[in-house]
Chains A and B, each alone.
Chain A
Amino acid sequence: MVDVAWQHEDEASQDVAERARVLQKLKASDTFFRILTRSAAIFVLMMLGGVIISLISGSIPAFREFGFSFVSTQIWNPVTEKFGAVAPIYGTIVTSFLAMLIAVPFGLLIAMFLTELCPLWLRRPIGIAIELLAGIPSIIYGIWGLFVLAPFFADHVQPTLIAATRNIPVLSTLFAGPPYGIGIFTASIILAIMVLPFITSISRDVFDAVPPVLKEAAYGLGCSTWEVMRFVVLPYTRVGVIGGVMLGLGRALGETMAVTFVIGNAHKINASLLAPGTTIAATIANEFTEAVGDLYTSSLIALGLILFVITFIVLALARFLLMRIEGKVG
């Protein structure tokens, strides 16, 4: 053992005492490395613990001051130091929900194209393009949304929407008001574009995991591509697809920069989707460095805690579902 480990060193000695000393040294270094890697592994756990503890301790002043009313009132007034989190929570949930409403069908359709319809030579380039879309930093989506998408929406899309839905009962409330360009609606579209690659690539991976023989049997019976998707692939991959959707939802809930640029940062719940609003992440990003006073800072950290708890639950659920499908495939 000593000879092999120490072969590149000239000092390898035949002396028994010397060999014992080297052996002892190797044993010590072995134990040391094991302890070192184990502490690093436990450090990862502690990182999560640290995040939770620091958020809780930071938000105590806010919860002590406002109690339950922090999550049940809408007033957000830094001057009178009254803070309620309902508007940002509402904005976070609505933008994420709308984003998923758009991104999920799109993502599933693209995954269907990639696995069932796409010619082989095109599969790789499109797959890479989707992953590039996933790699673009969120601030790029933000600046693009602010300077390109928002003006385009204000000038073309939103006026048309307002005019088209004027006489339809519910939709006319949803699409009311002046077409600012920035607001809940634009933020949802940007979020949809951002989570689309995640949903697409996970759906593609789980679609690929369907045993070919199942699909071939269905095709052999005379099923069309759509029928194979609808009655064979989707039922088989349901759990994995839901996991992927939850993972995308986790991203959408916590997304900061892209939303901050286009949401308008208004602490108000408005029935119209075209009106400016805010999300938890956008509120923190916009106001944290300007927050004066402990109560203001603490309220923002409390917002962060709420966001973390929501995303933690969603992500844990997603991982749980994806783990189940991994066990099934592997």
Chain B
Amino acid sequence: MELARYSSRRRANGIAVFASVSATVIGMAILAVILGVLLWKGFGGLSLRVFTQMTPPPGSDGGLLNAIMGSLIMTGLGILIGTPIGMLAGTYMAEYGRHEKLTSVIRFINDILLSAPSIVVGLFIYEVMVRPMGHFSGVAGAVALAVLVVPVVVRTTEDMLVLVPNTLREAAASIGLPRALMIRQIGYRAARAGIITGILLAIARVAGETAPLLFTALNNQFFTSNLNAPMASLPAVIFQFALSPYNEWQSLAWTGALIITLSVLALSILARSLAGTRKTS
């Protein structure tokens, strides 16, 4: 009787362990298959042409230059707009209002913005920028990305400044440094690695965003540096080309997907190693 109970417990444990190991193996296998297919399909189309020519009309050769440039411009601008706002807000929450009710409200709202559907952000910017301006534009795309950057930067800035030891602040205050100077010269310096990690993660997040660009920046067959005109971006081009029936377009979509994935993965690995060195030192 005892023995039967013992062996049934053993069996239950064996099943659970087996399920746990297989779930992990399946998870890893999926990651391997996704990256493998991406490399296999994407590398075929990777050549210098991709970086030097514009997106082609159907049926002819071309590259992704305008899409890559558009992505760089809009991501860069989005980061430039979003980072200062996020850093300042995070600074207030960690330095001035750490125990205020306002701060917990903002933290709660910020966490929701952090995982809110990005397509809703696209609709928001459409309503406040595209509709009043009367046309799609690169600058609207950049602002939409900035809205996604802010919550990421707020979160990391606050987290990192809270980690700065209070003794540093007290030391600065004791020699008479005004608070604003103390934050800028002591706080930011101590939290620098963490804040940079946050910015890198924000870049990685928005670089692959498609949904908010679809109806803000739209797309463009040609290169433009005019922020007032529709602008191409890698994700939007991938979306258009992958769903098209043309082979050349589909192959370019895979190449674009490879470029995006590699840059996003490189950014997150860089961010991670930066955060890692900070922890060990």
Contact = CB atoms under 8 A, between A and B. Distances in A.
A162 interface: no
B48 interface: no
A267 B41 CA distance: 32
B89 A311 contact: no
Interface stretch (B50-58, B62-70, B176-184, B191-199): B176-184
A110 B24 contact: yes
Classify chain A: how many residues form its interface, as a range: 35 or more
B88 A40 contact: yes
Nearest to A300: B123
Nearest to B268: A135
A138 interface: yes
Interface in A64-102: none
Interface in A98-136: 105-106, 109-110, 112-114, 116-118, 126, 128-133, 135-136
Interface in B18-53: 19-21, 23-24, 26-28, 30-31, 33-34, 37-38, 41
B113 interface: yes
A114 B239 CA distance: 36
Nearest to B93: A41
Contact of A109 (B19, B115, B123, B181): B19
Nearest to A56: B127
A224 B21 CA distance: 16
Interface stretch (A26-34, A165-173, A208-216): A26-34
A329 to B, nearest CB: 16
B214 interface: yes
Given A43-B89, A117-B17, A311-B116, A26 B178 contact: yes
Given A137-B260, A140-B261, A255-B117, A113 B23 contact: yes
B264 to A, nearest CB: 6
Given A5-B181, A55-B120, A136 B264 contact: yes
A250 to B, nearest CB: 5
Contacts of B204: 135
Given A54-B124, A58-B123, A254 B260 contact: no
A55 B38 contact: no
A50 B87 CA distance: 20
A307 B12 CA distance: 41
Interface in B87-108: 87-89, 91-93, 95-97, 102-103, 105-106, 108
Interface in B124-177: 124, 126-128, 147, 150-151, 154, 175-177
Given A30-B178, A135-B268, A138-B210, A319 B89 contact: no
Given A5-B178, A226-B15, 13 more contacts: A5-B177, A29-B181, A44-B89, A106-B27, A113-B20, A126-B24, A137-B208, A137-B260, A144-B34, A225-B17, A260-B239, A281-B211, A288-B214
21 contacts: A1-B177, A3-B176, A4-B176, A5-B178, A34-B96, A37-B89, A41-B89, A41-B97, A45-B106, A51-B116, A109-B20, A117-B21, A136-B264, A137-B264, A139-B239, A261-B243, A284-B123, A301-B127, A308-B117, A312-B112, A312-B116
Cβ-closest 10 pairs across A and B: A137-B208, A254-B117, A1-B176, A40-B88, A33-B180, A37-B92, A226-B16, A224-B13, A109-B23, A54-B127
Interface of B: 9-10, 12-13, 15-17, 19-21, 23-24, 26-28, 30-31, 33-34, 37-38, 41, 84-89, 91-93, 95-97, 102-103, 105-106, 108-113, 115-121, 123-124, 126-128, 147, 150-151, 154, 175-181, 183-184, 204, 207-211, 214-215, 218, 235, 238-239, 242-243, 250, 253-254, 257, 260-261, 264-265, 268, 272
Interface of A: 1-5, 26-27, 29-30, 32-34, 36-41, 43-45, 47-48, 50-51, 54-55, 57-58, 105-106, 109-110, 112-114, 116-118, 126, 128-133, 135-144, 146-148, 193, 196, 200, 224-227, 229, 247, 250-251, 253-257, 260-261, 281, 284-285, 288-289, 300-301, 304, 307-308, 311-312, 315-316, 319, 323
